[in-house]
Amino acid sequence: MAELGIGIVGAAGRMGLALARAVAEAQGCAVAAASERPGHDAIGSDIGALAGLGDIGVAIGDDPGSLFAAAGAVLDFTAPKASAHHAKLAADSGTILVVGTTGLEAEEQAAIEAAAKSVAIVQAPNFSVGVNLAMALTEQIARLLDEDFDIEVVEMHHHHKVDAPSGTALGLGRAAARGRGVDLDGVAERGRDGITGARKRGAIGFASLRGGDVVGEHTVMFAGAGERIEITHKAGGREIFARGAVRAALWARDKPAGLYSMADVLGFNA
Report how far residue 140's alpha carbon sits from residue 172's, in angstroms, rounded to the nearest whole number: 12
The total of other beta-carbon atoms located within 10 Å of residue 106's CB is: 7
Q: Residue 233: CA atoms inside 13 Å, Cβ hemisphere, count?
A: 25
Q: Which of 40, 81, 88, 161 is catalytic?
A: 161
Q: How far apart are the first and last CA of the chain?
A: 24
DSSP three-state, residue 60 = strand
CA distances to 34, 74, 142, 153, 235 from 176, in Å = 37, 30, 5, 10, 21
At residue 124, the 3 state secondary structure works out as: coil
Q: Could you confirm whether 255 is annotated as catalytic?
A: no
Question: Is the preceding omega at residue 38 within 30 degrees of 0, hence cis?
Answer: no
According to DSSP, the residues that pair with 99 across neighbouring strands are: 76, 123
Amino acid code (one letter) for 60 = I
What angle is formed at CA 116 by the lines to CA 25 and CA 86, rounded to 5 degrees?
A: 65
Instruction: Please confirm, yes or no, whether 160 is among the known catalytic residues.
Output: no
Q: From the candidates 85, 86, 157, 233, give the one annotated as an active-site residue.
A: 157
Cα–Cα dist 189/205, whole Å? 5
Kind of pairing, strands 227-235 and 216-224? antiparallel
Strands 150-157 and 29-35: what pairing?
A: unpaired
Q: What angle do CA 117, 122, 234 make, to 5 degrees?
A: 155
Give me the residues paired with residue 209 across strands: 156
Q: Which residues are catalytic?
A: 157, 161
